Structure 1
Amino acid sequence: MLRPLLLLALCSASTLALSAPPDDSTLRSLADEPYWHSLGHYESGKLGGWRSYVDDDDFFLADGGEHDPAAELAATLAALYAPASAGDRHPQCVFPARTRWLRERLSLTDLPTVECKEFRTWYADVAPHSTVLVFPAAYLNSPSSMFGHTLLRIDQADIDTQGSPLLSSALNFGAYIEGMDNSVLYAWKGLMGGYPGLFSLLPYREKIGEYSRLENRDLWEYRLNLTPDETGRMLEHVWELKQIRFDYFFFDENCSYRLLELLEVARPGLRLTAQFPLTAIPADTVRAVIDAGLVADIDYRPSRERELLTRTAPLESEELRWVRQLADDPQQLERDDFQALPSERRALIQDGAYRLVRYRVTGEERDPANAAHSYRLLQAINRNPPPRLDVERPVLPENGHESRTLQFGVGSRDERAFAEYGLRMAYHDLIDNLEGFPLGAQIEIAQLRLRQYEGNHWKLQRLDLAGIRSLTPLTPLLRPWSWQIAAGLERIAEGDGDDRLVGHLNGGGGFTWQLREDLLGFALATARLEHHPEFGAVISPAAGFDSGLLWRNGAGNLLLEARGDYFHNGEVRRRISLAQQFELRDTAGLRVGLERSFSHRAEPETEFQVQLRWYFY
C-alpha cells in the first residue's frame, strides 16, 4: 500500500531532499538502537540477523524490511518526505510513532506538513492519559483462558474525578478467528500458530462484561506509572498496528508478550520481552511488569460468580432454598412464610436470588421473562436493601509459584532403585504450592520425566503433552461439572517384568464435593484411548473411573486417588496412590508419593518416591 508512495518520494528527491541528509553511519547507528527494534518488533534471528514478529507486508516500506532494520529505517525516512497531498495515506499519518522518533532523533524541521485527520480524530477520541494493566484470572472452562489473559486499559485525564473506567478504552491482542472452530481445534491451532493475531481497541465496559460476567473471571487492575507522554507514545504505535497481522501462539507470541512490546515502546529502555525467550505465561508477565517498577496501585473486581457465593455464604440451608425459589419464581416474595422471616434475612435472600438470576442468564440473549424476574426482585431489594457486599480479596495471582518446574526424585519400584529427573514447562498440578491458585485446578503442559535405574539404565518414563483437571465443587446454588483431559506417553507394566511406553489420550467428567473448607472429594467417569504395540488394535479403548480426596493441610496439599481402566480386550488396570506436597518456600516443594498398581498383564507393583521440585521461570 505504501510502497508506491515511497517510489514517488524517491523520484522527487531532487526537489524534496533533506536539507542536511544524515550520513550512512548515522543511519546505521539509529537502526541499531533498541527503540527502533521495538517499533519494528524485531528480534535477533536464531542463526544471526534479524526478523520481525510482524507477519504483514503492509507494515514494511522496504523490500525485505522484516529482516533488515537498516533498510526499513532508510525507507521510512525517505517516505516521510512524500508530498503532503497523500493526506491520510501519507507515511507520516500511517506511522506517527516512527515519525515522532525520527523527527526527534534527527531534528527534522523540514518535513512536509500533513494534517492526518483520521489519526488525530481517533487519538482525540481515545484521549490517552494513563495506563492500567488488566489481568483476568485463569478460567479452566475456556481453552483460550486457561492461563489467564492480559490487556491494557487506556484512561482519560479526568478518570478519577469526573469519569468512569467503564468509559475507557481496552487495548487487546488476540487470535483472529473466522468461522466457528470447536474448543479442541481452537486449542490445537492456537498451539501451532494457526491463527493470525491482531490488536483491537474497544470500550472497556465490553471487556468487563466478557470476563467478569460471561466467563466468571476475577479481574485484577494494575495501574501503571506511565506518564501521559509515554501513554500517548504507545497509542501512536497502536495506530501503526491497526489491522496489522502477527503470528499468534498460545505459549509465547500471545496477548501478554505483545503487550510487553507495547510497554517497551511507551518507556524506552525497558527490557521486558527479553525475559521470555520460550514461553510467556500471563501471570509471569504480570510479575515482570511489577518487578520493573511499573505498578503504582492494584485494584480488584470480583466475578459475578464470586459475588453470588459471597452474598449467599451466610445463609442457612432453608434460606438457600428460598434463594432458589425466588430465582425461579419472584411471586414467592408475597408468601406469608417468606414475609415472616426477619427483615435482614429477607434482604440477603432477595439479593442472592437476584444475583442467581443474573448468573443463570450469563451469555444469553435478553429474555423478557428473565428481565421481568430481575425487575421484580430489584423492586424488593430497593424496599429492603441488604448491607454492602464486601468480597474478600484473594491472594494476588502473581504471588503464586513461577510457571516452570525442575524435578529431582529418588525412589524404588519393587526393590529397583531409581533416580528421576523432570522438567515441566507450565504450570501447576493439584498438589503444587497452592498460594495464588484455586484448590482443585491443574494445568500441566509439556512435562518430561527421565528415570535412571541401577546399572545406569535410562528410560523415558513420561512425556506429557497436556494434563488439565478442573475439580470445581458443587454448591447449593451451582452445579458445575468437574472434568479432566490428558495426552502423552507413559510407561505401563508388562507381564515379563518389564514395562512399555504407550501413547494415550484420556479424559472424564463427573462431580466434586466440598466436604470441608479445605477438603474436596471427587468422582469422575473416564474414557481412554491407547496405542499399545502388544494389543491387537492400533487404538484400544477403555472405560473407567477416577475418584479421590484432595486435602489442603498445614504442611501443604495431599491427594489420595483411586483409578481404574477396563479395556475392550479384557485388560484391567487399577491404581491407588497417595501423595503429599510439603511447601518448603515459594520456589520449592518436597513431594512424597506412594503408589500401588494392579494389572492383568503384570504382577502388582509398589512404587515409592521422594521428589524435590523447584519452581522458576
Structure 2
Amino acid sequence: MLKRLLPLLLGGACAALQAAPQLPATRLHELAADPSWLALGHYQRDRLGGWRSHVDDDEFFLAERGERDPTAELAATLAALYQEPALADRHPQCRFPARTRWLRERLDLDDLPQPQCHEYAAWYADIAPHSTVLVFPAAYLNSPSSMFGHTLLRIDPPGIDTQGSPLLSYALNFGAYIEGSDNSILYAWKGLMGGYPGLFALLPYREKLAEYSRLENRDLWEYRLNLSAAETGRMVEHVWELRQIQFDYYFFDENCSYRLLELLEIARPGLELTDQFPLTAIPADTVRAVQQAGLVERTDYRPSREKELLARAEPLNGTELEWTQRLAEDSAALASPAFQALPAERRALVQDAAYRLIRYRKSGEERDEGSARDSYRLLQAINRNPPPRLAVERPVPPENGHESRTWQLALGSREDQSFAEYGLRMAYHDLADNLDGFPLGAQIEIAQLKLRRYEGNHWQLQQLDLANIRSLTPRSALLSPWSWQVGGGLERVIGKGRHDDEQLVGHLSGGAGVTWPLAEGLLGFALATARLEQNEDFAAFISPAAGFNAGLLWRNRLGNLGLETRADYFHNGEVRRELSLTQQWEIAANLGLRLAARREFSHMGAPASELSLQLRWYHY
C-alpha cells in the first residue's frame, strides 16, 4: 500500500500547479470499457462476472484493486500522470509510456508535465522498432517445453531488408521463469498447473536463433507482419511496461503464443485474436489465426542444422558417407590418397557434409581443440573446392496443417456387438492423422476422451488419455536418434469372463527403441516397453509388465497406414497381445476417415476382434 501511496505523496507538492482533469463517472466508465484500455491492462471477463487481469503482479497496478477494476486503474493512472516531473525515471509517465500516450490522445492532454525519461528513451532508441516478424520454431518432441512448437516476435530496426541483418534485431519472448533445475516430469506438471511465473524478455535475436535452430535442431518459420512502424512502436512501448512483471504461465492456454497475441492486439486494436482461444492456445493454431487476420506479408523458412546435414548427405553413396564420418572424426584423412582419388565434385560434397556433421555434434557443447582443428581444416578444403549451393526442400508450413482439436464419430463392431463411439481430443496429432504440416512419426495427444454406446443402450467410458506421446525418429548413416513413447490414462482391456467383458484399467507406460527408414515414406520401428497397471482383476494394486511394441508406418496416396503389434508380459503371469491395422483417408485438411481393425489376446479371457470406421473432424 505504501508503495502505491508514495508517488502520490511526492507529487502532492505540485498539486496546486498541475492537477488531473476531473472526468465525469460516465466518461471514466466509457474509457475504461474501451478495448484498447482493456488490452493495456490485459483484462478479460471473469467467469463469475466483472473483470480480471491476466497480470499476476501488484507492481503493474496503481489502484488498490486495479487487477479487477479497469475504471479504478484508469482513474489512478490519470492522476499519476500529473505528478512532479522531477521524479524523472520514477515518474508514472516513464513507467507507463503506452498508457500515457493512449490517455493523451483520447483526452487531448496538452498540459501534462514533461519528466525526463532517460532510461526509457535509451532503451527504445537501442531497439529502434520499425517492423515486426512472428517467428515459429517448429515442434521438437525431445524438449518438454517445445513439444507444440513456440512463437516469439522479432522487432526489426529500419532498413532491415536492404542494409541490415536480422541478427541485429531483438527477439521478444514470453516464457516460464524457472529457478533451479527441475526435471522433465516436474517441469511438465508445473507447466500444466501454473506452477511457474511467466515473464517477457527482450534479447538479441541471434541468441534465440542459435538456441532454436542449432541447439534444439528446430526449423524456423518467419512471418513478416504488415504492422506499420507506429503499430510496432506502440507494442514495444507496452513491453517496457511489462519489464519483470509476472503473469501466470500455463502450457495450454496462458502461454507464449497467447501472450504474443495480446501484444498484437495492442499494436493494432480491434484484432480480437485472443477471443479465438478460450481453452487452449496451441502455437500452430495461433500462427494460423494471425495469418487469417490478414497480418502476414511474407513467409521465410530457415531449416535446422539437422535438416541441412541430411539434405547435404542425401546424394552421397555408402562409401562417401563412410568418408564423411571419417573426416568428421579426423580431418587428417583429407590428405589420404584414397580420398583424393574421388572426383573433385564428390569430394566437395563429402567435405561439406563432414563439416556440417561436426557442427551438429558439437551444438551446445564447449569448443574443444580437436573439433576446432578439424573444422578449420575442412573449411580450408571447402574454400579450395566449394560444393554447389545447398537447397533444402521447403516443407508444408505448420499453419497449413490440420487444426488441433479433434471430434470423432465411429461406427463398428466388437465380436458380435455393434457400437457407436464418440470422441474428443483436445490436442493435437497422432501417427495416422492428416500429415501436411507435421513430421512423419511424431505423435502428441493430450486429453483424449472416448465414450462408447453398445446395442441395448449400454454406455461405457472406453478411453481417457491424459497424454500419449510418441517420437519415431528414423536413423540414418550419420545420425542415430532414439525413438521413445510415453502415455498414461484409462483404457479398456480384456477382463475375466466372456469376450465382451472389458475391464477399465489405469496405466502408465513408456518405451524406447529405434526407427529405420525402409523406403521413401516407409518407417519400421521396434521399442522395448514397460507398463504399470491398476486392474481390479489383478490381486496386486499395481502390477508391472515388460513387453515390446513394433510395426510399420507407411505414407501412401490415401494418407497414413499403420501396422502394429505389441505385447505386455505381467509379473503375475498375464500375457496381453494385440495386432492392429489403421488406414487414414485424408478427405480434406481438417477432415479424415479412418478404418481401424485389431485383434486382442489375453490369458484372462477369450480373444476379441474389433472393426470400426471413424470420421475425424479437426476443429479448434
TM-score range, shorter chain: over 0.9
Matched with 2:598 is 595
Query: Aligned in 2, Cα 1:486/1:597: closer, same or farther, shift over 3 Å?
Result: same
- Give the equivalent residue in structure 1 for 2:335: 334
Question: What residue is the counterpart of 2:368 in the other structure?
Answer: 367
Offset at residue 8 of structure 1 (A): 1.8
- Give the deviation of 1:586 after TM superposition: 1.0
Q: Could you tell me the percent identity over the aligned residues?
A: 70
Q: Which amino acid aligns with 2:418?
A: A
Matches within 5 A, 1:282-431: 282-431=283-432
For the residues of structure 2 that align with 1:239 and 1:329, how far apart are their CA atoms?
50
In the TM superposition, 1:432-581 aligns within 5 A as 432-497=433-498, 498-581=501-584
Aligned partner of 1:278 in structure 2 is 279
Conserved 8 A contact 1:8-1:82: no
| Equivalent-residue separation in structure 2 for 1:605 and 1:219 (angstroms) | 46
Q: Which residue of 1 aligns with 2:196?
A: 195
2-structure distance, mates of 1:251, 1:140: 16
1:165-208 CA-to-partner distances (Å, cap 9, x unmatched) read 00100000000000001111111111111100000000000011
Instruction: Summarize the Cα distance change of 1:16–1:539 in structure 2 as closer, same or farther, 3 Å threshold.
Output: farther
Q: Measured at CA, do residues 99 and 57 of structure 1 come closer, stay the same or move farther in structure 2, by a change above 3 Å?
A: same
| Code of the aligned partner of 1:413 | R
Structure-2 change in CA distance of 1:533 and 1:13 (3 Å): farther
Q: How far, CA to CA, are the matches of 2:117 and 2:571 in structure 1?
A: 70
* Aligned residue identity for 1:561: E
Query: Using the alignment, how far apart are the partners of 1:407 and 1:393 within structure 2?
Result: 31
SS of residue matched to 2:327: helix
1:10 to partner: Cα distance: 7.4
SS at match of 1:140: coil
Contact persistence 1:18–1:110 (CA under 8 A):
no
Q: How big is each residue's C-alpha offset from its partner over 1:402-438, in whole Å with a ceiling of 9 and x where there is no partner?
A: 0000000011111111100000000000000111111
**How many pairs does the alignment contain?**
617
Conserved 8 A contact 1:521-1:550: yes
Query: Is contact 1:9-1:81 (8 Å) kept?
Result: no
Q: Does the 8 Å CA contact 1:148/1:283 hold for their aligned counterparts? A: yes
CA displacement 1:554-576 (0-9 Å, x = unmatched): 11111000000001111110000
User: In the TM superposition, what whole-angstrom CA distance separates every residue of 1:512-570 from its partner, at most 9, and x where no partner exists?
Assistant: 01000111000000000111122222211100000000011111111000000001111
Q: Which amino acid aligns with 2:519?
A: R
Structure 2: how far apart are the matches of 1:23 and 1:593? 67
In the alignment, the residues of structure 1 paired with residue 17 and residue 416 of structure 2 have an alpha-carbon distance, to the nearest angstrom, of: 84
Whole-Å separation in 1 of the counterparts to 2:18 and 2:39: 28
Q: Is the 8 A contact 1:9 1:79 kept in 2?
A: no
What residue is the counterpart of 1:266 in the other structure? 267
The Cα of 1:592 is off from its aligned counterpart by: 0.6
One-letter amino acid of the counterpart of residue 562, structure 2: L
SS in 2 for 1:92: helix
| SS state at 1:119 partner | helix
* Structure 2 residue aligned with 1:166: 167
Aligned equivalents of 1:351, 1:11: Cα separation in 2: 70
Q: Name the TM-score, length of structure 1 as normaliser.
A: 0.99
Deviation of 1:5 (Å): 4.0
**1:18 CA displacement:** 3.6
What CA distance in whole angstroms lies between the structure 1 residues aligned with 2:50 and 2:518?
59
Shift of 1:14: 4.5
Give the superposition deviation at 1:160: 1.5
C-alpha distance after superposition, 1:321-342 (max 9, x if no partner): 0000000110000000100100
Partner of 1:137: 138
Change (3 A) 1:45 1:192: same
The letter for the 2-side match of 1:33 is D
Q: Using a 3 Å threshold, how does the CA distance of structure 1 residues 579 and 29 change in structure 2: closer, same or farther?
A: same
Contact kept in structure 1, 2:20 and 2:79, CA below 8 Å: no
Aligned amino acid, residue 87 of structure 2: A
The code of the aligned residue for 2:505 comes to V
Match of 1:205 in 2: 206
Q: Distance in 2 between matches of 1:13 and 1:332?
A: 79
Measured against aligned partners, the alpha-carbon deviations of 1:242-279 in whole angstroms (never above 9, x if no partner) come to 00000000000000000000000001111100000000
1:589 & 1:496 partners in 2: Cα distance?
A: 36
- Residue 106 (structure 1) aligns with: 107
**1:77-135, CA deviations, whole angstroms, 9 ceiling, x for partnerless residues?**
01111111211111000000000000100011111111100000000000000000000
Query: 1:469 offset after TM fit, Å?
Result: 0.4
- What is the distance in 1 between the residues matched to 2:560 and 2:460? 29
Contact 2:495 2:537 in 1 (8 A): no
CA separation in 1, counterparts of 2:14 and 2:73? 18
The normalised TM-score by structure 2 is 0.98
Q: Evaluate the alpha carbon distance shift between residue 339 and residue 103 of structure 1 in structure 2; reply closer, same or farther with a 3 A threshold.
A: same
Judge conservation of contact 2:131–2:157 (CA < 8 Å) in 1. yes
Structure 2 letter corresponding to 1:452: R
Distance 1:276 1:594, change over 3 A: same
- Residues 354-410 of structure 1, C-alpha deviations (whole Å, 9 max, x = no match): 000000011111112111111111111111111111111111111100000000001
Is the contact between residue 223 and residue 300 of structure 2 (CA under 8 Å) also seen in structure 1? yes
Aligned to 1:56: 57
**SS of aligned partner of 2:109:** coil
Q: Distance in 1 between matches of 2:482 and 2:316?
A: 24
| Gaps in structure 1 of 5+ consecutive residues | none
Aligned to 2:81: 80
Alignment root-mean-square deviation, CA = 1.1
Q: Which residue of 1 aligns with 2:586?
A: 583
CA contact (8 A) 1:6 1:61 kept: no
Output the amino acid matched with 2:405: R
Q: Residues 14 and 83 of structure 2 are in contact (CA less than 8 Å); yes or no, is this contact kept in structure 1?
A: no
Instruction: Tell me: CA distance 1:335–1:35, structure 2 relative to 1, closer, same or farther (3 Å).
Output: same
- Secondary structure of the corresponding residue to residue 394 of structure 2: coil
User: Contact 1:131–1:154 at 8 Å: present in 2 too?
Assistant: yes
3-state DSSP class of the match of 1:7? helix
Counterpart CA distance in 2 for 1:499 and 1:180 is 42
Aligned twin of 1:184: 185
Corresponding residue for residue 251 of structure 2: 250
Measure, in 2, the Cα distance between the counterparts of 1:16 and 1:203: 43
How far apart, CA to CA, are the structure 2 residues paired with 1:5 and 1:389?
Answer: 62
